[in-house]
Structure 1
Amino acid sequence: MEPQLLLAAQTELGECPVWDADRNTLFFMDIIGQTLHAYDWASGKDRVMPLPALGGALALSRDGRLIAGLQTGIHTIDPLSGAVTFLVDPEPDKPDHRLNEGKCDPQGRFWVGSISILGRFPTGCLYRLEKDGRVTQVLDRISVPNTLAWQPDGQHMLFADSVTKQVWRFRYDAETGAIGERKVFIDTSDYKGMPDGIAVDADGGVWIAEFGGGAVHHYSAQGKLEGTVRVPASQVTSCVFAGPDLDRLVIITTKRLLDDRARQEQPHSGDLFIIEPGISGLPPHLYG
């Protein structure tokens, strides 16, 4: 599969792609650029809206709004006006952190990690925002929260602290949202880079972006490597199933951590690519 250019977004740190079927729109963030992008699938037009702080997490809400993790906490965003409304800050005592990697579970809770903006220190956490607005700390001592997803069996959650190069699988209690036994699901120690964003297909297979390795790796629902898609940009941050039939995989890249020479050698870093993976994805879970 040869990735094709979808959008020359030229983001400094493109992340958090989310497919909105109702609007036929792909949303994503430029974290460093502090912008929210809304790519219209039909017209190919990319609308860019400012954010009040560094971003890092994005999901859809049942009421039609977006829910976002920023440096200043969890907010909702009106996708039409771009208006941002504060909900709660899980870490009011950590101004040197921002929120990173957020997804909703099948029951409508929003999960989001935190990360130090000063370096890869193990000071981050993973939080769960309940539908009533309560926030629970689920994990601590996290350096780079990433690779967050739920398997279709409804009994397991995937998550990685990228610096460990291990994707963990946790036992997941759908009723309470609690996580239990942790096992290594995929060991990525052979990656040149580290595991970043993740997408889940209709067979329960997972597609994991390799940041620093210029690739997206496809694994079975059991964690067996099925194939690799090479991308003409080394800093691959995430991927998402998109399109009316969820049969396209959009891959997002970034310029982050590239020096001037590498930026010249990789002119499409910061752009979005697309492939036809031969399988459809699952629709995103919604908050609320």
Structure 2
Amino acid sequence: MKPISIAEPLSQIGEGPCWDDNEGQLLWVDIMKDRIHRLCPETGSVETIDAPKLVSTIIPCASGGWLVSAYHSIFHWTPGKKGFEEVLRLENLPSDVRFNDGKAGPDGAFWVGTMDMAEVKAKGILYRISPDFQYEEKISGIICSNGLDWSLTHDEMYYIDSHVPRIQAYAFDSKNGTLGEARTAVTLDEKSGLPDGMSIDHKGMIWVAEWGGSRVVRWNPADGSQLSVLEMPVPQPSSCAFGGENYETLYITSAYQGMSDSKRSEHPLAGALFHMSTSDMGIRGRRPFRFG
């Protein structure tokens, strides 16, 4: 399995890939450059949109448009229209904490976490934002809130704090969005990269990008076993998501954040978007959940 790169534009921190099944396009963000990118796979063209500062993730809304997290705020954005409408701001967040990864859940809420921008102190929190934009804290004591997804039956939520070498699974009630007892779904090797963004396939297996590990790994969350490894030509793959026809394309974002000039010359594709067909493996993803 060899991923194919889409080298332009290179992202300082590419993150949050999400498939738009209405338009047949992939959207992702560059956190440090405050941009949203939108790929049309048919033509290979990429549109770049200026976004709010420290944009970190983007999710589809059931009523149309997208929700975008950026620094301390949540915005609503409609492609083709100018501007981002702020719909929620968390006034209590410290200046050195920002939103990071997030997804719409099977309960129709926006699950999005925060992180200590120095990635040292456990200041982060995972929030659940309801369709009426009320929010509640779900998990606290996090250094870097990152990848999350839900089991095929919606009775578990998988969750990553990048500075903890494991993937947690929480009992999940999809009717009211409550979390129950937690278990360790996967124990990670601390010598490999930091666990970052994740996605689930139609067999219930989870794919996790390893920042600093140059790979994306497929895990079985039922028994914690490693199923396959996709070696990447860049040191910092950051997240992954399924898209394309029948969700048989795996898209992978990456970053060049923190890399020296010499390191970047060794890895000229650092920050590129990658894609790989999973049809030969008999694997596909699923349609993203929508907010509301």
Q: TM-score range by the shorter chain?
A: over 0.9
1:157-185 per-position Cα deviation (integer Å, ceiling 9, x unaligned): 01011101111000011122110111111
Question: Residue 44 and residue 55 in structure 1: after superposition, are their counterparts in 2 closer, same or farther (change >3 A)?
Answer: same
Q: CA deviation at 1:244?
A: 2.0
Q: CA deviation at 1:215?
A: 0.2
Which segments of structure 1 move beyond 6 Å, counting only runs of 4 or more?
none
Distance 2:276 2:80 in 1: 28
Matched, 1:286 2:290: yes
Instruction: Give the partner amino acid of 1:99.
Output: F
Question: Residue 190 and residue 59 in structure 1: after superposition, are their counterparts in 2 closer, same or farther (change >3 A)?
Answer: same
- Which shifted more, 112-121 or 157-166? 112-121
User: Is contact 2:185–2:221 with CA below 8 Å preserved after alignment?
Assistant: no
Aligned pairs for 1:1-288 (under 5 A) are 1-222=1-222, 223-277=224-278, 278=281, 279-288=283-292
Distance 1:167 1:58 in 2: 22
Distance 1:150 1:7 in 2: 31
Q: CA deviation at 1:86?
A: 0.5
- Normalised to the residue count of structure 2, the TM-score between the two structures is 0.95
Distance 1:219 1:165 in 2: 14
Q: CA deviation at 1:83?
A: 2.1
Q: CA deviation at 1:91?
A: 4.5
Question: Residue 82 and residue 245 in structure 1: after superposition, are their counterparts in 2 closer, same or farther (change >3 A)?
Answer: farther
1:61-95 per-position Cα deviation (integer Å, ceiling 9, x unaligned): 11221111100311111122252111112343422
- Which shifted more, 71-80 or 263-272? 71-80
Unaligned runs of 5+ in 1: none
Q: CA deviation at 1:257?
A: 1.9
Q: CA deviation at 1:272?
A: 1.0
Question: Residue 148 and residue 43 in structure 1: after superposition, are their counterparts in 2 closer, same or farther (change >3 A)?
Answer: same
Please give the secondary structure, in 2, of the residue aligned with 1:101: strand
1:133-168 per-position Cα deviation (integer Å, ceiling 9, x unaligned): 110111111101112100111100010111011110
Distance 2:72 2:186 in 1: 32
- Normalised to the residue count of structure 1, the TM-score between the two structures is 0.96
User: Is contact 1:14–1:253 with CA below 8 Å preserved after alignment?
Assistant: yes
Unaligned runs of 5+ in 2: none
Please give the secondary structure, in 1, of the residue aligned with 2:245: coil
Instruction: Give the partner amino acid of 1:283.
Output: R
Please give the secondary structure, in 2, of the residue aligned with 1:159: strand
Instruction: Give the partner amino acid of 2:225.
Output: K
Question: Residue 3 and residue 82 in structure 1: after superposition, are their counterparts in 2 closer, same or farther (change >3 A)?
Answer: farther
Q: CA deviation at 1:189?
A: 2.5
Please give the secondary structure, in 1, of the residue aligned with 2:60: strand
User: Is contact 1:147–1:167 with CA below 8 Å preserved after alignment?
Assistant: no
User: Is contact 2:7–2:269 with CA below 8 Å preserved after alignment?
Assistant: no
Distance 1:93 1:205 in 2: 34
Q: CA deviation at 1:118?
A: 3.3
Instruction: Give the partner amino acid of 1:251.
Output: I
Q: Sequence identity of aligned pairs in percent?
A: 27
Question: Residue 276 and residue 93 in structure 1: after superposition, are their counterparts in 2 closer, same or farther (change >3 A)?
Answer: closer
Distance 2:252 2:106 in 1: 23
Instruction: Give the partner amino acid of 1:220.
Output: N
Distance 1:242 1:78 in 2: 20
Instruction: Give the partner amino acid of 2:172.
Output: Y
1:200-237 per-position Cα deviation (integer Å, ceiling 9, x unaligned): 11111111000000000011352321100000001010
User: Is contact 1:219–1:226 with CA below 8 Å preserved after alignment?
Assistant: yes
